[in-house]
Copies of this chain bind each other. A is one copy, B any other.
Amino acid sequence: MNIEKNIAIVGLGQVGLYLYNELNSKKKEIEIKTGKKIKIVAISAKNKNKKRRFKIDKKIFFTNPIKIFKQKKIDILFECIGQSDGMSKKIVEYALKNKINVITPNKALIAKHGDALSKIAEKNNVNLEFEASVAGGIPILRTIKEGLATNKISKVYGILNGTTNYILSEMENSNETFDLVLKKAQKLGYAEPGNPKLDLNGFDAFAKIRILSALSFNTKISKSNCIMEGIQNIKLEDIKTASKLGLRVKLLGISEIINGRLFETVHPCLVSKNTYIGNVNGVMNAVITEGKPVGESLLQGEGAGPGPTSSSLLSDLLSILRGNIKYPFGISYKKRKSIKTFNNDNYANSLYLRFEVKDKQGVLSLITNRLSKFRISVKRIIQTPDKKNNKATIVIITHKTTEINIRKCLSLFKKNKNILKHPTLIRLYN
């Protein structure tokens, strides 16, 4: 048997390049731990001559990744391009169909095409591993698939996006606005310099929640419509008001089984400063699972950056080198069930509502009357006048109410000239 395994890395951005360097420097260690020698025989990126942090071997460089497979015998492909479709999908499919193991940190690809890709992998008896796609260096997928394998998991949730968690923490710490802190995050390399949209609008966290659900509940990846909100509308004043109430804003991803139906969501939550999740700050990620018989388990670690991501990519590599073919989602494609989805309308929470209104008599009672018409009962009201601008801010904390109810109620405020903007809504985490 050939004990030298040939590796190709496609995509040499921050993650791919760091991985290239790690693999070269840890060859010996990997051999000790697995008995297998590895050799990087091909790398690919758009630009061969771009200035890079680590020197690359240009003799094994391919501009067209598809050509790699025609010229070299590859055992393991690292896909580090990061598209949900396009070349990412193309080379992963190509590799799996040709019995080449695939490792990828690409959550967009897995959340969208994971079911179909796992089917191809199983059919061809090769591995498709994606530990790095969720929560960076935290080995949460392996923990669910193996460490907690026979538990009945009923809920998985957490802070799944380091960029947004950094921004929210830093706004609170520095007292600076969203826009300023976003620029800081981009400078530090936490947020994409060009387009941070997929982090900020919750899309990134949502892809991770889809993957976590499939693994936790042994289901197909859900395609249903969900409540997905990002942090774009969170203002510094929301964070300051929350702080006065002993609360902190966190972007949570939540997936749970409610009455046999799947409920998945990503939205900003107000959590108590006294809770564990309220104290996971900066670029940290945290994932909490609730299962039987194990109870609550909690994993925390750095959620982003090439170091933590590379740690997970290498754990996938070792799993493959140690030599067993595993189902990509823990159980076979055939056995993974489709699951009906919970009706979002029935999702119920206490709410934080911030209204910007004209500072006129009767506006507060107008708001409270409408809330009461929809049986949304008020727990707390904080009114802050802005005399100079003849405005006021009204923050209302409500008792629990359903999504459909609050949607109907809030839509009415659109038409009122005394309500200056559509109210900001943040759900309180139960």
Contacts and interface: CB of A to CB of B under 8 A. Distances in A.
Interface string A17-30: 01000100010011
Contacts of A315: 146-150
B323 A138 contact: no
B319 A307 contact: no
A296 interface: yes
Given A297-B299, A299-B299, A335-B32, A151 B326 contact: no
A40 interface: no
Q: How large is the interface on A (under 10, 10 to 19, 20 to 34, 35 or more residues)?
A: 35 or more
A314 interface: yes
Contacts of A32: 331-332, 335
B296 A301 contact: yes
Contacts of A331: 32-33
Interface in A278-325: 279, 291-302, 306-308, 310-312, 314-315, 317-319, 322-324
A208 interface: no
A54 interface: no
A389 B326 CA distance: 70
Contacts of A142: 142-143, 146-147
Contact of A148 (B30, B151, B294, B311): B311
B137 A295 contact: yes
A196 interface: no
**Count of chain copies:** 2
A418 to B, nearest CB: 44
A283 to B, nearest CB: 9
Contacts of A150: 22, 26, 29-30, 33, 311, 314-315, 317-318
Contact of A322 (B131, B138, B324): B324
Contacts of A311: 148, 150-151, 291, 293-294
Nearest to A297: B301
Nearest to A300: B298
Contacts of A26: 150
A285 B299 CA distance: 12
B318 A146 contact: yes
A212 to B, nearest CB: 15
A139 interface: yes
Contacts of A13: none
Contacts of A335: 32
A293 B310 contact: yes
Contacts of A291: 311
B324 A294 contact: no
A29 B23 CA distance: 37
B33 A330 contact: yes
B307 A294 contact: yes
A83 B324 CA distance: 33
Nearest to A306: B293
A323 B293 CA distance: 24
Top 4 closest A-B pairs, CB basis?
A139-B147, A293-B307, A294-B311, A137-B294
Given A150-B317, A298-B301, A299-B300, 4 more contacts: A137-B148, A149-B318, A294-B307, A322-B324
Interface of A: 18, 22, 26, 29-30, 32-33, 131, 137-139, 142-143, 146-151, 276, 279, 291-302, 306-308, 310-312, 314-315, 317-319, 322-324, 326, 330-332, 335
